[in-house]
A and B are shown apart, each in its own frame.
Chain A
């Protein structure tokens, strides 16, 4: 009689040997697909966050523009516009831009050291709204029209254009994501079929000893789930490193002023908690997609040969 076999420490050898699955190639492919998905997702999130931010900022503000006209005292018109604006419901504050502030505003386009006192340029009153939905813009426009040379700019057309552009980018991003997922699924189908053909002997033996298709599919699915998870994690981590690198490059390689302007335009190149959760989500979706696609392919293969 032989010594009793010890158990407990060692797990049984997997029925589907790991080296028989085209693991590394598939893992690399899934990693690349995950990276592309995460970068697309991050890009879309960035654009969407910036667009929402811009839209909200712009929506909380309207501008009264007063053109200098002969016979009109610009400063008194500015004061009148401020007092009219402050009397309108939903307005939190109104502030007439000083000449210095107007100079700073035009500095990026006309350069520094500009003296506007000699130029007949329009002056602006920035009106901040407490609640953009509750503000009576129609009344403000009506009352402002009593001031000669005054007009109201609500930025509505610009916001519509901005939202349309952001929406187009988001939809395009979702489409690209969907295409990447479809391409990933197709690659997994081919890899799984190849693996099943390579392991046909194992499948046959399992069938002969009474294994159900469900059991066999589970053995293969376990392998593919691990490959999907590993590939997904590699791609997800690479994407996070990519965003960290871009963010660091923006603040070090570019001049401070350009970096600040890009920040104003595109927001910061940091994903935030939502972005990180999104990347984790993409990794899980890719791993799940790998497991489900391989399982369906295996089940189909098994019912074809049964």
Chain B
């Protein structure tokens, strides 16, 4: 599903942040991406999200070389990928329902066509009674669940998560991880960046360890 061949990344004329990354991610897998702060986890996720181009090497997704895609094709590819951020990145003036429904809305679909789907998903993440609430009145855990719902509403093949549990307490972190686990069981490929050791210990998924720009895999 995802294949990196000798991928390197540098910003401008600076040093290489990511060096010679070569790996493959199988469909339906779950990987933790871990490593110390500043090791390049977010940069790697941005490469996977196709919001950055590598300085060298090739990236393939779904059997297609995505390194130098045209903008329109890039947009189509990006719609197969969901993303969850540590800082939620919900739009503060939209309700929970509207935030989660945003991916449908940007595709020009009518509310009638996705309403039931969004409601069902909000029920599933436990926010069925918070549909009309603005993000300002949601707790950290609720915001993150809304962000996860927004990321998976259009049923992406790949779900990327950048420190999704960074702003919630340990108990809630674990509950969120169960949510990701359930999504993975439904077939979504997940790469979740975290450096929370307790989660890495409790959930036995393969780890991608990024250190000094180099990536190693640990089962």
Contacts and interface: CB of A to CB of B under 8 A. Distances in A.
B112 A7 contact: yes
A215 interface: yes
A211 B91 CA distance: 14
Interface string A195-229: 00000011011111111110100000000000000
B93 interface: yes
B126 to A, nearest CB: 11
Nearest to A216: B106
Given A5-B115, A7-B111, A7-B115, A210 B106 contact: yes
B19 interface: no
A204 to B, nearest CB: 8
Interface string B100-133: 0011011110011001100100110000110100
A209 B103 contact: yes
A4 interface: yes
Given A7-B112, A205-B89, A210-B75, A13 B94 contact: yes
B167 to A, nearest CB: 16
Contacts, number: 64
A5 B122 CA distance: 12
B106 A208 contact: no
A231 B119 CA distance: 40
A18 to B, nearest CB: 9
Interface residues of A, number: 23
B128 A210 contact: no
Given A2-B131, A13-B93, A15-B91, A208 B119 contact: no
Contact of B106 (A1, A7, A211, A306): A211
A198 to B, nearest CB: 13
B202 to A, nearest CB: 28
A5 B79 contact: no
Contacts of A17: 93
B51 A208 contact: yes
Contacts of B103: 209-210
B79 A210 contact: yes
B150 interface: yes
A2 B105 contact: no
B115 to A, nearest CB: 6
Which has the most chain B C-beta neighbours within 10 Å: A12, A202, A207, A215?
A12
A212 B106 CA distance: 8
Interface in B3-49: 49
Interface string B69-90: 0011001001100010000010
B156 to A, nearest CB: 9
A206 to B, nearest CB: 6
B49 A208 contact: yes
B105 A12 contact: yes
Contacts of B108: 215
Contacts of B116: 4
Given A210-B103, A306-B71, A2 B129 contact: yes
B129 A202 contact: no
B129 A12 contact: no
A215 to B, nearest CB: 5
B98 interface: yes
Contact of B98 (A13, A211, A215, A306): A13
Interface string B45-57: 0000101000000
A208 B83 contact: yes
B95 interface: yes
A113 to B, nearest CB: 79
B97 interface: yes
Contacts of B122: 2
Given A5-B97, A7-B115, A205 B91 contact: yes
A205 B98 CA distance: 13
B75 A1 contact: no
A212 B108 CA distance: 11
Contact of B95 (A13, A209, A210): A13
Contact of A4 (B51, B98, B119, B129): B119
Contacts of A7: 111-112, 115
A5 B119 contact: yes
A213 to B, nearest CB: 8
Contacts of A1: 123, 128
Which has the most chain B C-beta neighbours within 10 Å: A15, A17, A201, A209?
A209
A215 B109 CA distance: 12
Nearest to B97: A5
A212 B128 CA distance: 29
* In the A-B complex, the 8 residue pairs with the closest CB atoms: A211-B106, A2-B128, A210-B79, A17-B93, A209-B103, A210-B78, A7-B111, A208-B83
Interface of B: 49, 51, 71-72, 75, 78-79, 83, 89, 91, 93-95, 97-98, 102-103, 105-108, 111-112, 115-116, 119, 122-123, 128-129, 131, 150, 154
